[in-house]
Structure 1
Amino acid sequence: MTEHSEPGPGDRGAGGLDDGDAVIVDARETRCPMPVIMAAKAAQDLPDGARLVVLATDPAAAADLPAWCRLRGHTLLDLHLGDEVRADIRLGT
């Protein structure tokens, strides 16, 4: 499992947004609170305005990631719910 990686050019996530400029946090197969912890760790090294895409299989991430965004002043651009949770986040205000 890779914590975060850069997708290839033109990759599109489940939400339909181009992931080419996003940092991907792969929190699949982890349990609460790890998806949020992994997202926060990745966000520390990124500037305001950067995009973070968090992938998780824990259903709690569907509530935890939007709450983390509200608490930290990030913008939740898209939240896809299916076999896995996919949160597309713009860091900062």
Structure 2
Amino acid sequence: MIHDHHLDVKGALCPIPVIKAKKVLAKMSNGQRLLIETSDPLAQLDIPHMCQQFGFTLLEVEEVAGGHAFLVRK
């Protein structure tokens, strides 16, 4: 996944991955991509919901060892 910024929140539980992702995205320029890696199973629901709620684009979701990777465009 090609990205501009990386956020590793493996081991953090809901709502921490979304809170941290929103903080990173707030500092990014429009069009940039954030790779979010998480081990929280609820992130499969929370990250897409965050994108829909705040107008981000969920480009890709990939199952990785121990969790998921999400590619989000601001």
TM-score by length of 1: 0.74
Larger Cα-atom Rg: 1
Q: Displacement, 1:38?
A: 0.6
| Corresponding pairs, count | 73
Sequence identity, in percent? 30
- Alignment RMSD, CA only? 1.0
TM-score by length of 2: 0.91
Gaps of 5+ in 1: 1-16
CA distance in 2 between partners of 1:18 and 1:75 (Å): 14
Higher relative contact order (CA 8 A, sep 6+): 2
Gaps of 5+ in 2: none
Segments of 4+ in structure 1 off by > 2 A?
Answer: none
Higher strand share: 2
- Pairing 1:18–2:2 present: yes
Q: How does 1:1-93 map to 2 (within 5 A)?
A: 17-19=1-3, 22-82=4-64, 83-91=66-74
CA distances 1:27-71 after superposition (whole Å, capped 9, x unpaired): 111000000001001011111111011000000011100000000
